[in-house]
Amino acid sequence: MAFGPTPPAIQVHLCVTRGNEAIRFYEKAFDGVCTMKQMADDGVRVMHANIDLFGSEIMLHDEFPEHDSEVLSPLNRQGASVAININLPAAEDVDAAMARAEKAGAVVIMAPQDTFWCARYGRLRDPYGHVWAFNAPLPPAQASQS
């Protein structure tokens, strides 16, 4: 996914441990495609990667504590501080996306359910500590019963 000269106004840049493994997870769990990857000089850590998923793009990098970075993975911060919200077109897409991610190794922390805001919604934590929320509008008949 090339954005041309103007990138999106807001773009997620995930910090992880085991960057190459994380890229493979996002490819398997979210049908992502790694479009660019630059390795660090150590040849082990990912300095920067771009991954297309859900019609958008995230960026990803390994931790670099030797640079006194304020950005650490949720695993080393003992939890995520944000949830990455994925808006999907249909309610059944929430269940399918979460099932695929769970099969790839994510942990469901809120099973998909119909909500008071007339959406199908669920949350999971990936193996790198990031929390993903999936949301889709309910069909009108189903929404009136929520």
Q: What is the mean pLDDT of each run of 10 residues along the chain (146 residues)?
A: 66 95 98 97 97 94 88 92 96 98 98 97 98 95 66
Residue 87 lies in a domain: yes
CB neighbourhood size of 89 (10 A) = 9
Nearest alpha-carbon partner for 128 in 44, 10, 24: 24
Residue 127 lies in a domain: yes
**How far, in Å, CA of 146 to CA of 142, rounded?**
7
The per-residue pLDDT for 68 is: 73
Give the CATH number, domain containing residue 65: 3.10.180.10
The per-residue pLDDT for 141 is: 73
Residue 8 lies in a domain: no
The per-residue pLDDT for 10 is: 84
Q: Which residue has the tokens 């493979």?
A: 24
Alpha helices in the chain (DSSP H): 19-30, 74-77, 91-104, 140-143
